[in-house]
Amino acid sequence: MEQNLTALSYRLRQHVVDIIMAGKGGHIGGDMSVIDALVTLYFDQMNISPENVNDPDRDLFVLSKGHSVEAYYAVLAEKGFFTYEEVLENFSKFGSKFIGHPNNKLPGIEMNSGSLGHGLPVCIGMALAARMDNRPTRVYTVMGDGELAEGSVWEGAMAAGHYRLDNLCAVVDRNRLQISGSTEDVMHHDNLADRWAAFGWHVISVDGNSIPALHGAFEEAKQTKGCPTLIIANTTKGCGSPVMENKAAWHHKVPTAEEYAQIMADLKAREEVALHE
């Protein structure tokens, strides 16, 4: 990794906050937990860029937890698919393409998402197509942990295991909170690794807010043959500022002026620390 991706991740978190302030709404908690996985995928792992969006051999990504779109916009803008200023100016505005969930009218976005439980099965189709055509494509999706209550996720888990799709890697953003509270209270997912392993997946559990740890997990997934890989990215919802961290109320929230100042100061401080590490 040539770039300091940890510092980049904290800088992009600041963009996320500003996007949410500009749009007057957004799923801030999940944006903050998932952004390290997105940064690792787009700046360390995937063969994807604005120059190769039509290359059939490119890697493919679907943000199954589509409500984390603000983090996705920040990452895609940094990658050059559009500009950060465009997002700031248009997010959630009347007539805008920058809506509150990913849509493929925007460059860099393959599939529309927003309704949970769709990303994994769609990625199975992509992975099957890549295998049929003998392409080097790897296919990635990121799901939320609350999302795992959707039955269609398990239809997908079954099929990916059945077809031994080793060109497919799914990530669960395991931040342990959903809109109503703890995932374990709403619909528990403990023994997650065992569940996926039982469906025929190779399972890796890592610190999902550590880019070096995510890098290692994605590399291991690439080396895994004969079955798909699930990365349980153990994350902190709202990661980056104690104002938001591990608080279910920050699932979808716009910071007040005071909260904004504190969050931005916290994120800047962590960016500085990362830059000097």
Question: Least CB distance from residue 118 to another protein, whole Å?
Answer: 6
Q: How far is the CB of 104 from another protein (least distance, A)?
A: 6
Query: By C-beta, is 195 or 268 nearer to another protein?
Result: 195
The least CB distance from residue 217 to another protein, in Å, is 23
Task: Quickly count: other Cβ atoms within 10 Å of residue 74's Cβ.
Answer: 26
Of the pair 104, 180, the CB lying nearest another protein is at 104
DSSP state of 251: G
Nearer to another protein, 112 or 224 (CB): 112
Q: How far is the CB of 208 from another protein (least distance, A)?
A: 25
What is the C-alpha separation between 219 and 149, in angstroms, rounded? Answer: 28
Angle at 62 between CA 15 and CA 185, to 5 degrees: 80
The site for another protein (CB under 8 A) is made up of 56, 60, 103-104, 110-115, 117-118, 121-130, 132-133, 137, 151-152, 155-156, 158-159, 162
Specify whether the CB–CB gap between 204 and 219 falls below 8 A: no
CA distances from 60 to 70, 88, 152, 244 (A): 19, 26, 20, 31
User: Which lies closer to another protein via its Cβ, residue 50 or residue 125?
Assistant: 125
Residues 6 or more apart whose Cβ sits within 8 Å of residue 258: none
* Angstrom distance (rounded) from CA 136 to CA 57: 6
Instruction: Output the smallest distance, CB 110 to another protein, in A.
Output: 6
Q: List Cβ neighbours of 248 (8 Å cut-off, separation of 6 or more).
A: 29, 177, 178, 179, 180, 181, 182, 237
Q: 10 or 61, CB closer to another protein?
A: 61
Residue number, 8 or 143, with CB nearest to another protein? 143
Q: Residue 134: phi, psi to the nearest 5?
A: 60, 40
- What is the nearest approach in angstroms of another protein to the Cβ of residue 137? 8
Per DSSP, 149 falls in state: G
